[in-house]
Structure 1
Amino acid sequence: MPNLERLRADHADALLAFERANRGYFARSIPDRGDAYFEEFAARHKALLAEQDAGLCHFHVLVDEDGELVGRVNLVDVAAGCAELGYRVGESAAGHGVATAAVRDVCRLAGTAYGLVSLTARATLDNPASRTVLERNGFTETGPITLNGRPGVRYLRTGLTD
């Protein structure tokens, strides 16, 4: 399984390459980031690191045994012991349990290293793989939502140190 690493400045080139290589793959199940994301990537990466340094978010990348970045897992909007979980795994690593393992590891980190007590997440109904990852990691449905114009579900997980 890939190693989970806290996002650093030296991940920028690999992260940009990962996002470019998987852009079409991701767009099949989640909204595309748009051209501006790629054009302004360097500034955005610096801004993410500043948010992380301020404790507002916790960003992670997944690096395989060959040193290739194959995914990312983020905890955003940290406040009052809670954060929202988001993740994406590249096409080459999909279907091999990578997302399930990465979410498990981040849930553990959230409770032990970051002092969080709960996490929320969202997934569209037409993304069963993402919903399965959340459910395998102890997230429970809390209600319907609309996510980028598509029907979805909001999830909650408590007991992060369990």
Structure 2
Amino acid sequence: MVELIGERVRLRELLVSDVALIHPGASDPRVVRYMSWGPNDEAATRAFVERSIAAQSLDPRPQYALLIEALADGRFLGMTGFDPVPNEPGHATMGYWIEPDEWGNGYATEAAKLVVRHASSDAGITRLTAAASVDNPASHRVLEKGGLTRVGPGTFTHENGTVLEAVLFERRA
């Protein structure tokens, strides 16, 4: 079971009961505005949590989904994690989202640093990549402070088929 502790946040793997914590953010258009998925209905959030829990026991793991909690009081802050890229050993993509009431408090940056460290030191990831919407400079800063380097323009595709312009980031071990 993965648990990562920072100065102010704790990242932990998901439990079935976390659907109730995750769904409000996963269904909030403000939260998912720059994501490749959502907004989710409750069935989609539940399916994500169930897939994430199932992935915890697989080897190799297809996904590392981690809940972000405040270390001081355990309140839910958001989600983060990384997904190994199929047929590209050592390569994974990372992502995150934070509850709107917690934006601007540095929690995403702290979580990103923990994910980068875990991916490279414990999960065998030698190339970690991320894509952030060109319209989301706050995420650009989070990824750079988290240890990734801006590598250029690119795109990502929303689950509905819409292609979005992005800035690509990378960290190599």
TM-score class normalised by the smaller sequence: 0.7 to 0.9
RMSD, matched Cα: 2.1
TM-score scaled by length of structure 2: 0.79
**Alignment-mate amino acid for residue 44 of structure 1:** F
1:105 equivalent in alignment to 2:84 = no
Q: Is this contact kept in 1: 2:25–2:31, CA < 8 A?
A: no
**Alignment-mate amino acid for residue 62 of structure 1:** I
Alpha-carbon distance, 1:68 to partner: 2.0
What corresponds to 2:164 in structure 1?
A: 150
1:57 equivalent in alignment to 2:63 = yes
Residues 30 and 58 of structure 1: is their aligned pair in 2 closer, same or farther, counting only changes over 3 Å?
closer
Matches within 5 A, 1:112-123: 112-123=121-132
What corresponds to 1:133 in structure 2?
A: 142
**Alignment-mate amino acid for residue 54 of structure 2:** A
Matches within 5 A, 1:1-162: 1-20=8-27, 23-30=28-35, 33-35=38-40, 37-54=41-58, 55-64=61-70, 65-78=72-85, 79-147=88-156, 148-159=162-173
What is the CA deviation profile of residues 7-42 of structure 1, one whole-angstrom value per residue up to 9, with x for unaligned ones? 23342322224434xx0321444466145x423432
- 3-state SS, counterpart of residue 101 of structure 2: coil
Residues 43 and 24 of structure 1: is their aligned pair in 2 closer, same or farther, counting only changes over 3 Å?
closer
Alpha-carbon distance, 1:74 to partner: 1.5
Q: Is this contact kept in 2: 1:145–1:152, CA < 8 A?
A: yes
Q: Which runs of 5+ in 1 are unaligned?
A: none
**Alignment-mate amino acid for residue 57 of structure 2:** D
Alpha-carbon distance, 1:44 to partner: 3.0
